[in-house]
Amino acid sequence: MKKIFLLCLLVFLGKSVYALDIVYPKSPNVTISADSSFFIGNTNPKSWLKINGEDVKFNKSGAFAHVINLKDGINTFVIESGAERKTYTINKPFAKSVSKSVYRAPQFVEYNYLKNYLVSDENTPMRETPVDSGINRMSHFQKDIPLIVDGEKQNFFRVVLNDNTKAWVAKSDVKLVVDDFINNPASLKSYEHKQTHEFDIYAFHFDKKTPYVMKEGNPFILTFYNVRNNPNSTYTFEVPIKGNLFGYSGKFNGNTFVLKIRKAPKSIKGLKIAIDAGHGGSECGAISCHCDKEKDINLAISKYLEAELKKRGAHVLMTRKNDVYVGLRERVDFANRHDAAILVSIHGNALPDCANPNMHSGTSVYYYYPQARPLADNVLKSMTKSAATNNDQVRQGSLALVRNTNALSILIEVAYLINPDDSDLLRNPEFQKRCAKAIADGIEKSI
Ligand SMILES: [Zn+2]
């Protein structure tokens, strides 16, 4: 038995350590439309590595990332390490000749009269600019919110909120109705305030739905538009915030708008924290120099984080506990359904062709709403100190997992799977545990 085990171990080691693995490009015949790309992989660290005769550096574990320049047409690369030799052909499509016709920027078309629309789907974004991406979301609307439109630009309608406030909504998210919202504004009938030990809850009873915007800050400002008997048809409600803002939700339930503001927690004990291990199942995420899948690394770190937070008394909720596919919306809904106060999504980073993986390493933390910025800062600070990762910045980004206001939501790119030294760290359980501890410290610092 023992001999068989040893033999298996040798075969296993032989396969994993002494083979030349090329992780990227994904196959020996690929098309890449960029001026440069890279070879990512690992080889026997005691051997040597050449690409088209040029010496390629690898780290102590044999991991490498080597940038290559691409010319139009077929590019051939011969990769040699010890007795192994692999040939890759990368086709870079010829640049299309630039069309002589003059590019015409899309123009705003103002209507002669106002049109009336209803939001046709739940969670419809209203934006500051007519662009379908970036940090430009003002509100997420429920179905049947009435909107007054005064013009259009490309795929967007311009929404009139009041005399001096305009916004944009995608044409595909609304439907035209025969109505006259401007002459039939909403009326606020009554208002209630109640408290639970976790939330301040404000209910605004209207006779019909109406557009609104919530603005973080102290005070927290909730503005309703097209409301009867108010200057500029605008009704503003201010909530003073004690301590830091720590999650909120606001939406119409029938004709009643319910605003829930979480009271800042005093301790991690009993605090609901959702951990989201990125990707899973058929969705692998990025692949490391060592052929590790991002989904597995994310789950390993998430499980260490779960243990670390439970040890400190938190109530931990996992969006996935094993290797299964979970949709992005489902992950956010899960955290909201369980009233999580914090949502932490764990990922590993990668780069597009034309970047140099040797020039990027370390941890970056993403947030969308300002309320999550202190948490993002604390987690990054703690990661760079305790897990000793490079500071790859806190960034504001429009990612599904951080566009949640109910919880303080951040997404952590722990390190780069395609950076050779980072890829060594990411597979190391001791590093994974250090990350979990560092993230937990950053969370505790934010309470
Ligand atoms: Zn990812």
Residue with tokens 């002589």: 100
CA of 279 to the centre of ligand 1 (A): 6
Residue 99 confidence (pLDDT) = 63
72 CA distance to ligand 1 middle (Å): 31
Predicted model pTM: 0.92
Strand partners, 167: 159
Residue 194 alpha carbon to ligand 1 centre in Å: 40
Asked if 409 contacts 371 with a C-beta cutoff of 8 angstroms, the reply is: no
Separation between Cα atoms, residue 277 and residue 297, nearest integer Å: 9
List the structure tokens of 311: 């040890």
Give the whole-angstrom CA distance, residue 326 versus residue 278.
9
User: What distance in angstroms lies between residue 278's CA and the mean position of ligand 1's atoms?
Assistant: 6
CA 277 to ligand 1 centroid distance, Å: 9
Cα(316) to centroid(ligand 1), Å? 21
pLDDT at residue number 12: 47
What crossing angle do the helices spanning 429-445 and 294-311 adopt, rounded to 10°?
A: 50
184 CA distance to ligand 1 middle (Å): 47
Ligand 1 center–CA 308 separation, angstroms = 22
Cα separation of 327 and 318, whole Å? 14
Distance 24 CA to ligand 1 centre (A): 16
Ligand 1 centroid, distance to 220 Cα (angstroms):
33
Measured CA to CA, the distance from residue 148 to residue 336 in angstroms comes to 30
H/E/C letters for each residue in the chain? CHHHHHHHHHHHHHHHHCCCEEEECCCCEEECCCCEEEEEEECCCCCCCEECCEECCCCCCCEEEEEEECCCEEEEEEEEECCEEEEEEEEECCCCCCCCCCCCCCCCEEEEEEEEEEECCCCEEEECCCCCCCCCEEEEECCCCEEEEEEEECCEEEEEEECCEEEEEEHHHEEECCCCHHHCCECEEEEEEEECCCEEEEEEEECCCCCEEEECCCCEEEEEECECCCHHHEEEEEECCCCCCCCEEEEEECCEEEEEEECCCCCCCCCEEEEEECCECCECCCECCCCCEHHHHHHHHHHHHHHHHHHCCCEEEECCCCCCCCCHHHHHHHHHHCCCCEEEEEEEECCCCCCCHHHCCCEEEEECCHHHHHHHHHHHHHHHHHCCCCEEEEEECCCHHHCCCCCEEEEEEEEECCCHHHHHHHCCHHHHHHHHHHHHHHHHHCC
Q: List the pLDDT tens digit at each of the 447 positions of the chain.
A: 444 444 444 444 444 446 899 999 999 999 999 999 999 999 999 999 999 999 999 999 999 999 999 999 999 999 999 999 999 999 999 977 666 677 788 899 999 999 999 999 999 999 999 999 889 999 999 999 999 999 999 999 999 999 999 999 999 999 999 999 999 999 999 999 999 999 999 999 999 999 999 999 999 999 999 999 999 999 999 999 988 999 999 999 999 999 999 999 999 999 999 999 999 999 999 999 999 999 999 999 999 999 999 999 999 999 999 999 999 999 999 999 999 999 999 999 999 999 999 999 999 999 999 999 999 999 999 999 999 999 999 999 999 999 989 999 999 999 999 999 999 999 999 999 999 999 999 999 999
Q: What are the structural domains, with CATH classification, of the chain?
A: 15-92 (2.60.40.10), 109-179 (2.30.30.40), 188-262 (2.60.40.790), 272-445 (3.40.630.40)
Say how many Å lie between the CA of residue 309 and the centre of ligand 1. 22
Cα of 400 from ligand 1 centre, angstroms: 12
- Residue 220, pLDDT score: 98
